[in-house]
A and B are shown apart, each in its own frame.
Chain A
Amino acid sequence: MMARLQRLTTGPRQLSRLVNIGLPYLWLGLFFLLPFVIVLGISLAEPALAQPPYTALWEWVEEGVLAIRLNLQSYLLLAEDELYLTALLSSLWIALICTLLCLLLGYPMAYAIATASERWRVLLLMLIVLPFWTSFLIRVYAWMGILKSNGILNNVLLSLGVIEQPLQILHTPLAVYIGIVYSYLPFMILPLYANLTRLDFGLLEAAADLGCRPWRAFLAVTLPLSLPGIIAGSMLVFIPAVGEFVIPDLLGGPQTLMVGKMLWTEFFSNKDWPLASALAILLLAVLVVPFVLLQRLEENWERRLEDERS
């Protein structure tokens, strides 16, 4: 025992710390953190017809004098042109509705899986994880064929005589909602499932023994205890959905304004790198609060794992 402790505090332990902590830290610092600093910098540059298409933030004017030019034009444009604010608010709204829809469908599913017999649980869970592994782009594409005006859904409804005219669903906000809920549903179910399987069902049994009806017991016991899972799942859906590009681009129409798509257009079509950067900074600022919430939950979760170990 003593020998082991000693070994842990000397050389190899230090080296192990350095490698285990240092290498991933270095990589993420260089390729994840530093880029944000550069985005902030370029959001303060001026667009230019050059390669790359922005002006330098600083230059040496003369010996010993450094001139820094911070151009707030991009941010002013974001504030003045209503289009950008509308896009941001509409992205938040779409993401919120989709998160609620995912919760409404995902919670019962996670509950059913978590309370199924052990043999079923493995299979059901695998079926939730499986689409998560197949191409996201292709799954969004699948909905194009279904929702088109001469697509599968309209063909079926027309032949059944339910409708007389094909429904226009593709390139409308409804298609975007369907696409986002479809793509992000597993992200809602998995944390909820993880949370619900840890729930002490003895509490429900006790409630039932005391004469509590299942619904009351659910509202009074299960729901409050699964709140961490609800919040984690909601954040995992909400945060990426706000910045979603592929779904509004392929399924949405001109009325669906989303900030991710706008950023893409500013960058690729308008070649306005500073404005795209300013949009990215704005989006980041909006997402900080939900992100911190998610981070908190992760820490609690991990503490519980550690408690269980000891």
Chain B
Amino acid sequence: MSKAAVGAGPGSGSSLDSDLGKDSFHGRRWPLYSLLAFGYAFLYVPVLLLIIYSFNESRLVTVWAGFSTKWYGELLRNQQLLDAAWLSVRIAAVNASIALVLGTLAANALVRHGRFRGRTGFELLLTAPLVMPDVIIGLSLLLLFVALQQTLGWPPGRGFTTITIAHITFSMAYVAVIVRARLARMDRSLEEAAMDLGARPLKVYLSITLPLIAPALLAGWLLAFTLSLDDLVIASFVSGPGSTTLPMLVYASVRMGVSPQINALATIIVAVVSLAVVIAGLTMRRPQGERP
């Protein structure tokens, strides 16, 4: 326990340090803070400009011609876009749910099953989708689906199913990372107590472990959902005629140039996602059962 307390550096040392005290050995803080400010400006100004110009009257996205919400109205009347959005949301929801289950199982395997045979390969397969360029994942999955169709006759066509399978494959790796970190840091004394009192392992897992890691499960589900909603490259490879996802439609429109409707869409996405992240962040702030 003492080792854990030392290792948990962030919680132990810095809460005692005031910013003033740190100056003595961290050096002057202002150059650091100005870089920090620049970095945040770099990350946020483009998105802010995007949002501001979504309320622009003019079709020319970059010339300000007065406040208007007409692009939002046009967006809501764009049936093609609404269809694509609905398809994307359905894919994202199914993907997030299945990826959550598979990713959590994988996290259990890594944290709870020690050094099982084939563990290195298992970890390799779980890390690779995190960094693998999208074009490679997309191409390879398409070729798999084509080969499967030729030999087994399944999948019958490309669309909802193939896109969802492709998304699960990379989303589950992200879920596994989040859930694994949480499982590894979890205090197991409650589980041990329940076991000693004779509860069955499955019962312990369902009624103690899962509630304790619930914030990570929520974060994992949300991340899988947004990753799927955001994917252009992989979906372009594995989709078929008649199944255009929202990013595919946005991409086609953006290639033609900047359009205020896309700005409006972007604003809605940013608003929804920010809200979800803030809510998730607030629920995760006071985690229970975690070591201090």
Contact = CB atoms under 8 A, between A and B. Distances in A.
A and B interact physically = yes
Contacts, number: 318
Given A24-B103, A129-B277, A182-B46, 14 more contacts: A12-B202, A16-B113, A27-B102, A28-B129, A39-B143, A106-B39, A111-B32, A112-B36, A115-B26, A182-B42, A200-B13, A245-B134, A294-B131, A308-B8
Contacts of A307: 3
Contacts of B265: 138
Nearest to A299: B123
B195 interface: yes
Interface of B: 3-4, 6-11, 13-15, 17-19, 22, 24-29, 31-33, 35-36, 38-40, 42-44, 46-47, 49-50, 53, 60-63, 102-103, 105-106, 108-110, 112-113, 116, 118, 122-137, 139-141, 143-144, 146-147, 150, 165-166, 168-169, 172, 176, 184, 192, 195-196, 198, 200-202, 222-223, 226, 229-230, 232-233, 236-237, 247, 250-251, 254-255, 258, 262-263, 265-266, 269-270, 273-274, 276-278, 281, 285
A113 B40 CA distance: 12
Tell me whether chain A's interface is mostly helix, strand or loop, or mixed.
helix
| Interface size class, chain A | 35 or more
A131 B123 contact: no
Contacts of B128: 32, 291
A17 B222 CA distance: 27
Q: Which 5 pairs from chain A and chain B are nearest by CB?
A: A243-B133, A214-B27, A35-B140, A208-B25, A24-B106
Contacts of B285: 122
Given A134-B270, A245-B233, A298 B123 contact: yes
Interface stretch (A64-72, A75-83, A150-158): A150-158
A141 B106 contact: no
Contact of A24 (B15, B102, B223, B251): B102
Interface in A153-212: 155, 182, 185-186, 197-202, 204-205, 207-208
